[in-house]
Chains A and B, each alone.
Chain A
Amino acid sequence: MELNGADIVVQFLKDEGVEYVFGYPGGSVLHIYDALFKQDDVRHILVRHEQGATHAADGYARATGKPGVCLVTSGPGATNAVTGIATAHLDSIPMVVITGQVPTAYIGSDAFQEVDSVGITRPCVKHNFLVKDVNDIAATLRKAFYIATSGRPGPVVVDIPKNTTDPNIKVPYEYPKSVEMRSYHPTDKGNARQIKKAVDLILSAKRPMLYTGGGVILSQADKQLIEFAKKLGYPVTNTLMGLGGYPGTDEQFVGMLGMHGTYEANMAMHESDVLVAIGARFDDRVTGDVKQFCPNAKIIHIDIDPSSISKNVRVDIPIVGDVKNVLNDMLKILDGAGKPDEKALSSWWNQINQWRSKDCLGFDRNSDLIKPQYVVETLYEVTGGDAYVTSDVGQHQMWAAQFYKFKSPYHWINSGGLGTMGFGLPAALGVKLAHPNADVACITGEASIQMCIQELSTALQYSLPVKVLTLNNRYMGMVRQWQEFFYESRYSHSYMEALPDFVKLAESYGHVGMRIEKPGDVEGAIREAFGMKDRLVFMDFITDKTENVYPMIAAGKAHNEMHMSPDRELS
């Protein structure tokens, strides 16, 4: 088949099984947009800002496990996409971003809408390519999808100069069936001897802890993790990225760990003697002070990326491999290898349950003001815990993570690593496209939502009836919280003056707006909103402006140095 470069791009996407491309047209990609126009197989979703395209593609990827795909033009199109690319990079999300580029003859001449997209994105992609020849488009895109989705996933940028998509230059096209790269061979099978050693150590534990992260979700290893945890009877904690990898409703689940993790999870980490890190990367928000991190534990670390191992914390038994494969291998030898120490385990659970009884997530239920935690809790109840929940970044994100008990993977969608405000709404649109019949909620704040609010227009164009829950405390809440704790309540530029009327704003975008000001109205409003199956409903919850996220470990402190909410502060 002879095709021009633009048709090759589109035909390739179709052959690769891509359903949706999130993008925004511009000069350098007009040939490709013309090719998109001529077909119906690959659906293009027109966003209102390229950042929205990347987050929507990212949300789609996180909710399906399939790569998200974006198409943006050169120059500002590419630079606007950078935040979303970096967001996907820090959370290891598979994504392919096609950026238009000025014609090869103009590269380096400071041409109109020219930037060095490959140079700008280099530090925040898994890999990137500049395609200089129409004959290389298909093979390069094939490599891009392969790299994005294999090993530790991540975003890949393919920069395509306009002349390579010239409609008049046709070359033979065939979907490249295989991809061979001598320099890229991710290790997905764990070393058998290391696995045996790890299993022996796991079974010898008196105070074990399973600490699992986003890797469990990326490798679709939730079933293996549940079987593993159930066989052993050990406590499980999830990182922010790992929520849903183990059912949040299970009794062995001790909650999220880290800076805003539960008392029981962090104390159990601190006192553990064997720590099994599964697809988690010892992020600073998880470890706190690395010198005081799990001081008495032998550490086993399963990760597909060798550079994650012993990067922040030295581990005793590293296992490089895909989490699912390694857990399967462990499960195979677990039964024959002995039994956990029942007596020690039962006293360990007694201790954990004692910590649990502090009820560290408790909040004032008799307040006249809407408590943000109560909104999330009510959302959980109204949706039966089955909704896909996206969030932005800040206090609302932490409350969403603490109070929505995610039952299964792919349902909790947030920017964990980069902490990108503006992520939640466009991500929710990507999720809704992937799961049109599911409930999709975006938990956000009045500061975050304004960073990508223009995507309300995209939601209308494609009839994507997500529900937006804004926990509106008239502050950049997390900034205000830090200023209260660490800057003697000098609220420097964290107060949001001149907020828009979100109800009218939603309405002017063609959606339904609601303002909820009393605790008694919260449940009814959420039920009403989710009852409107075909409408995007924007709920503006006027919440207690002084509420803080607890527990909290200050940056650089140890797991056993938690602040509890004032009414629960420990002596």
Chain B
Amino acid sequence: MRHIISMLMENESGALSRVAGLFSARGYNIESLTVAPTEDESLSRMTIVTSGSDNIIEQITKQLNKLVDVVKLADITEGMHIERELMLIKVKADDIDKREELKRLSDVFRGRIIDVSDTTYIIELTGTNEKLDAFIEAIQGQDIIETVRSGVSGIARGEKSLGLTV
């Protein structure tokens, strides 16, 4: 099953490679990984999307917790949560039909066209990764030149949080 694991880590060099190294050394799946500093600059927040049986997910969370740099960890798929991913997609838009169709699809998916050239569009789209997959599926007929996805960010709904002080 697919899980989203959220972590607060010491914002130190090497912390990311400890996590990445753990996944490769133990043969765990890694679908996406994002990391950036938080409002507290000594901490960074990492979101990992992984999949595996309950036993494997249990081991993954335990092994991650064991890393000395990991301050706090939660499997946010265990509860109500929101996940979002950003995609920038560059597509061929070199005739009027294509341009119209892309504009229409982009609107349907609540995307935005953020760059226009004579022959291309760049569309910005945010959503769950299913939604982004669906968009790619929908424009499959059009020529995709390049796709950039940020990887999933996730957060628990309501008062639940991964903050240090609660």
CB atoms of B25 and A307 under 8 A apart: no
Query: Which residue on A lies nearest to B58, using beta carbons?
Result: A310
Pick the contact of A311: B9, B14, B59, B71 (CB < 8 A): B59
Where chain B touches its partner, the secondary structure class is helix
Query: Which residue on B lies nearest to A186, using beta carbons?
Result: B66
The answer to the question of B140 belonging to the interface, with a C-beta cut-off of 8 Å to chain A, is: no
Chain A residues in 8 Å Cβ range of B104:
none
Q: Which of B36-82 contact A (CB under 8 A)?
A: 55, 58-59, 62-63, 65-66, 68-71
Q: Which of B7-56 contact A (CB under 8 A)?
A: 9-10, 13-14, 17-18, 21, 25, 55
| Interface segment, one of A119-127, A262-270, A500-508 | A119-127
CB atoms of A307 and B68 under 8 A apart: no
Chain A residues in 8 Å Cβ range of B9:
183
The answer to the question of A130 belonging to the interface, with a C-beta cut-off of 8 Å to chain B, is: yes
B58 to chain A, nearest CB (A): 7
CB atoms of A147 and B68 under 8 A apart: yes
The answer to the question of B148 belonging to the interface, with a C-beta cut-off of 8 Å to chain A, is: no
Query: Which residue on A lies nearest to B69, using beta carbons?
Result: A183
Q: Which of A106-158 contact B (CB under 8 A)?
A: 118-119, 122-123, 126-127, 130, 147
In Å, the complex CA distance between A147 and B55 comes to 27
The answer to the question of A182 belonging to the interface, with a C-beta cut-off of 8 Å to chain B, is: yes
Query: Which residue on A lies nearest to B55, using beta carbons?
Result: A310
Pick the contact of A119: B17, B63, B68, B164 (CB < 8 A): B17
Chain B residues in 8 Å Cβ range of A126:
68
Pick the contact of A306: B17, B65, B71 (CB < 8 A): B65
Q: Which of A229-259 contact B (CB under 8 A)?
A: none
A103 to chain B, nearest CB (A): 17
Chain A residues in 8 Å Cβ range of B62:
306-307, 309
With A127-B68, A305-B66 known as contacts, the answer to whether A183 contacts B59 (CB < 8 A) is: no
Pick the contact of A183: B13, B17, B70 (CB < 8 A): B70
Q: How many A-B residue pairs have CB under 8 A?
A: 37
Chain B residues in 8 Å Cβ range of A307:
59, 62-63, 65-66
In Å, the complex CA distance between A98 and B81 comes to 44
The answer to the question of A486 belonging to the interface, with a C-beta cut-off of 8 Å to chain B, is: no
Chain B residues in 8 Å Cβ range of A310:
55, 58
Chain B residues in 8 Å Cβ range of A309:
62
Chain B residues in 8 Å Cβ range of A127:
68
CB atoms of B68 and A122 under 8 A apart: no
Chain B residues in 8 Å Cβ range of A314:
55
In Å, the complex CA distance between A147 and B13 comes to 19
In Å, the complex CA distance between A307 and B70 comes to 14
A39 to chain B, nearest CB (A): 31
In Å, the complex CA distance between A123 and B71 comes to 19
Query: Which residue on B lies nearest to A128, using beta carbons?
Result: B14
In Å, the complex CA distance between A147 and B10 comes to 16
CB atoms of B21 and A130 under 8 A apart: no
B51 to chain A, nearest CB (A): 19
Chain B residues in 8 Å Cβ range of A118:
14
21 inter-chain pairs at a CB distance below 8 angstroms, sorted by A residue, are A118-B14, A119-B17, A122-B17, A122-B21, A123-B25, A126-B68, A130-B14, A147-B68, A182-B71, A183-B9, A183-B68, A183-B70, A184-B68, A306-B65, A307-B59, A307-B62, A307-B63, A307-B66, A310-B55, A311-B59, A314-B55
Residues of chain B touching chain A, judged by Cβ–Cβ distance below 8 Å, are 9-10, 13-14, 17-18, 21, 25, 55, 58-59, 62-63, 65-66, 68-71, 164
